[in-house]
Chains A and B, each alone.
Chain A
């Protein structure tokens, strides 16, 4: 059924019940409204009237007492009731408590009605009405809360499931069925969509894995054969010259394949394992591995590493990120130049002195390399950029004062 229909049902169930209950309660309250003492007065009046009549006095009828002679066979048992008359001179309805009875006095049958005005009935009634109103409002309010909870809970339940769905882990999105049309329709659409996305994801993942394997295997063959060839005793210098470039090319191809694969995997969010990464220790470690190169090229290293924010990311990618930036700095620095590493709470800056080799806006593009590095793949910075994008880190490159400066903000 439709959402509105279901909601209506709850209201239709609760509201009449409330009204009936209130109505009955109200009736009893109003009906039994007796200001204290009014009955005693009536009986007191009755006694007086009877006494007067019996003693032969003439009692005039007025607002409070009405005496009518009636037929002998009319008998009214003493009745206590409520009456209301419209008083012209007051211009409003007056309420009375009345006592009515028939009595034989001195051989005649009289119908006697004694009345006492009730004050404050209007107030009581309005108070009662107010009460009913409030109770009704309260009922609507609570029905609302309760019905809403009941009706919307499967929706929120499914919403939570959707939020927690992990494309790479979970097989299926298991949404609870409800009896509300709109929700079921939503479930179906979302289900269909997630299935398609997951299928595409798996397909791409499989492709990248296969591509890697399929390409690396022939490459492995090429390289191993060439290596064996190199071992031949009767290899001439000319022949060696022919083999070496072939070997180099195979190696480069292999590296290229791996790098492109890495890029794809990053885009495809295949690096799921994440940890808190301390950049200070990471940089120290990477520098340790580069120390020989730094010494060989006589690079001046200016290191300023403060404790920074830890970032929750894949440790593998963090490694690659820092390594690529440091390798680049060390590679493109001019002879005996300076490499500066500045780590602060929410910023990492790596810069190296050196001439401008590529146009600054192309620096992160794939296959763009600086001059004099034919062997480089040109993918290092593209990978860095991809990683930054994945974890929403800002990376900026500027060339200033003969320095290439890379800044990452996190």
Chain B
């Protein structure tokens, strides 16, 4: 999978690329509007991550151009601006998703995978990790072929883990993925613990392996 990252801040861009390359993505990078423009008109990407605030233009302009050229790439927009307007504008112009700085790399990763999946497989697309199969559209999860019942939050949690398999996920990033800003720190950790407990139980009940490992002091790791 080829990803283009358009971000003027080199440090952030570096962090993102390291994380994504670790996951097997091919990552290219453009730090200015002109650079990015050139790349998107010359090459095809599966996904383009665009920062809105660029030194010589806005990310929105790039989104517009991509849509006008009927590009098939997924688009995720990044910004430091908190405004609801920016979010709506981005999505209106045709972006698939939106993240605000600062974001967890794991979060960005999960969204990237989600966007790519949605774009490339219009019909059936399943996520398979060993004996666990997830159908993201119908929310059905089977372990060893047997259906298990997961609540929406448990489902989201499992998807988040699998999208970031092998990574250490902090409780905080899990909390933010599941509840956004809606929940307070202390309470969310209780929750996460409860949900993880339930997911573990349900998978193991059907003969699956418990891939969720607790990393002391930091969070959890899947796989």
Contacts and interface: CB of A to CB of B under 8 A. Distances in A.
Interface of A: 209, 212-213, 216-217, 219-225, 227-228, 230-231, 237, 240-241, 243-244, 247-248, 250-251, 254-255, 258, 261-262, 289-290, 292-293, 296-297, 316, 323, 327, 331, 373, 375-376
Given A224-B15, A224-B16, A231-B168, A217 B184 contact: no
Contacts of A327: 182, 184
B187 A224 contact: no
Given A231-B168, A237-B217, A261 B82 contact: yes
A261 B6 CA distance: 26
B134 to A, nearest CB: 21
Contacts of B186: 373, 375
Interface in B149-183: 153, 167-168, 170, 172-173, 179, 181-183
Interface in B1-37: 9, 11-12, 15-16, 18-19, 22
Given A227-B106, A240-B217, A296 B187 contact: yes
B70 interface: no
A219 B181 CA distance: 17
Contacts of B103: 220
B191 A293 contact: yes
Given A225-B15, A376-B184, A240 B106 contact: no
Contacts of A230: 168, 170, 218-219
Contact of A289 (B16, B22, B100, B182): B182
Interface in B168-223: 168, 170, 172-173, 179, 181-187, 190-191, 194, 215-219
B102 A220 contact: yes
Interface in B99-122: 100-106
Sorted nearest first, the 8 A-B pairs with minimum C-beta distance are A220-B102, A224-B15, A216-B80, A220-B101, A375-B185, A213-B80, A240-B217, A223-B102
B105 A224 contact: yes
B106 A212 contact: no
B105 A243 contact: no
Interface residues of B, number: 42
B153 A292 contact: yes
B187 A216 contact: no
B53 interface: yes
Interface string B67-85: 0000000000000111010
A289 B80 CA distance: 25
29 contacts: A220-B12, A220-B80, A220-B103, A221-B9, A221-B15, A223-B102, A224-B11, A225-B11, A225-B15, A227-B19, A228-B15, A228-B19, A230-B170, A231-B19, A231-B167, A240-B217, A243-B218, A244-B218, A247-B172, A248-B172, A251-B172, A254-B102, A261-B82, A262-B82, A289-B179, A290-B182, A293-B191, A373-B184, A376-B184
A221 B22 CA distance: 18
Contact of B217 (A219, A224, A241, A376): A241
A213 B179 CA distance: 24
Interface of B: 9, 11-12, 15-16, 18-19, 22, 53, 80-82, 84, 100-106, 153, 167-168, 170, 172-173, 179, 181-187, 190-191, 194, 215-219
Contacts of B22: 231
A212 B81 contact: yes
Nearest to B106: A227
Contact of A228 (B82, B100, B105): B105
Nearest to B218: A240
Nearest to B194: A296
B84 A224 contact: no
Nearest to A224: B15
B104 A227 contact: yes
Contact of B102 (A241, A250, A297): A250
Given A220-B103, A221-B12, A227-B105, A258 B82 contact: yes
Nearest to B179: A289
A204 to B, nearest CB: 16
B194 to A, nearest CB: 7
B81 to A, nearest CB: 7
Contacts of A231: 19, 22, 167-168
Given A224-B12, A323-B182, A212 B172 contact: no
Contacts of B182: 289-290, 323, 327
Contacts of A243: 218
Contacts of B80: 212-213, 216-217, 220
Given A290-B182, A327-B182, A224 B81 contact: no
Nearest to B173: A227
Contacts of B16: 224
